[in-house]
Structure 1
């Protein structure tokens, strides 16, 4: 991304690159629906032209975001950074690397068994999983309806911010940094529940395994939530025997 080296939305704090003989995995950290994040993924995907585009989405949800990416507007009006990444991709190999999937559920069940956690933790984990699964099914249904009709359904209302894509790169970057700082402050003040942290651990391990497998197909660009970025990068570095370098 040398041609954009002065753009504050593309700093190394949001990008990690892990090299292996079979391919490079570039992780792009995002704040959901933020215009700076949408710009970052569009730029990373267009510049790197990966063999595989991986998104932090359940595979069930992916067809809806592919429909959103067919928008003639750039970036697409719906689907946030995920549809923006798909629209910018030159590859047809686009995959969702989040749960729920059967391998993810097997991993979750095994982890719960090993954990031997309280019933409260189990209920919390299963409650969160149920919510995610219902949303993924709604996305798949909306994609099916869109494929059969001219109706385009928006499953989730986009998050709104005080800036949009027409604002300067500096304002967008400042807004995004402030959003990340607020999220971190909340996490520092309020310890996440064991169910939440447990669920994140399983999701991140699952994403690491999926991305490690996908790099066998060539170069990968993976779009992940900013709060997952460092842990997924560390896990991939351990799996692939490389360093998780900040990229620019």
Structure 2
């Protein structure tokens, strides 16, 4: 898998093959863009790739029912948009009306998660952690849809999530942004390894496996419509690329 030829990955340190993957061999080419949520380097990378590829379909690591809210965020005059981070920035940059959410909660996700639990039979504590995460995710998706409904009827744009704070902003140099982003990834992974309990780690693994299988299956279907750019968290990038390039089927 090589970075997409339509995207210049050498001239800017924020747009490198480290966080961009291309999966070819199907009806449409799939370009995966890994992001650190709300980081300025990720926002730049998403806009650069989307504008360069000009996909038929823009796929986002968001619940399908939350897409209308991020489309509202993307309609703002400011570039990048004030709300919605790299997801609304991707919608704003895309020359397509087809933006879709590929993340949980969906029926496919819950079916895969249920099979994972039945197959592995984890501890009751792990099951509780999985259930708690699923409930919180569903509540947040419903909140996004409610905020979109308010926005559709009024001029009010409700910020459902506060932006994740970072040590740098988009006024910093490209080199500094790229360096800070890599450090954010390193620190996040170190923190999870050091402080997450065994039960929470297993719950996260079970949930991520179901999420990634579901996202991969959806992306495989979307490629039938043409070229796709998918914006996903960096921690899902390699797994999705492997599932979609034929080494590990999408379930």
After alignment, is 60-69 or 159-168 more displaced? 159-168
2:221 & 2:229 partners in 1: Cα distance?
Answer: 13
1:112 aligns with 2:117: yes
Structure 1 unpaired stretches of 5+: 242-248
1:90 & 1:200 partners in 2: Cα distance?
Answer: 30
1:153 & 1:190 partners in 2: Cα distance?
Answer: 33
Q: Is the 8 A contact 2:41 2:181 kept in 1?
A: yes
Give the structure-1-normalised TM-score. Answer: 0.93
Q: Map 1:78-157 onto structure 2 (within 5 A).
A: 78-157=83-162
Partner of residue 37, structure 1: 42
Partner of residue 233, structure 1: 241
Q: 1:28 aligns with which of 4, 29, 33?
A: 33
After alignment, is 56-65 or 159-168 more displaced? 159-168
Task: Please state how far the C-alpha of 1:18 moved relative to its aligned partner.
Answer: 0.6
Identify the structure with bigger relative contact order (alpha carbons < 8 Å, sequence gap 6+): 1
1:53 aligns with 2:49: no
Q: SS of the counterpart of 2:175? A: helix
Q: Is the 8 A contact 1:18 1:25 kept in 2?
A: yes
Task: Please state how far the C-alpha of 1:120 moved relative to its aligned partner.
Answer: 1.5
Q: Is the 8 A contact 1:212 1:240 kept in 2?
A: no
Partner of residue 3, structure 2: none
Structure 2 unpaired stretches of 5+: 1-5
Task: Please state how far the C-alpha of 1:239 moved relative to its aligned partner.
Answer: 6.4
Q: SS of the counterpart of 2:150? A: helix
Q: 1:163 aligns with which of 144, 168, 188?
A: 168
Give the structure-2-normalised TM-score. Answer: 0.92
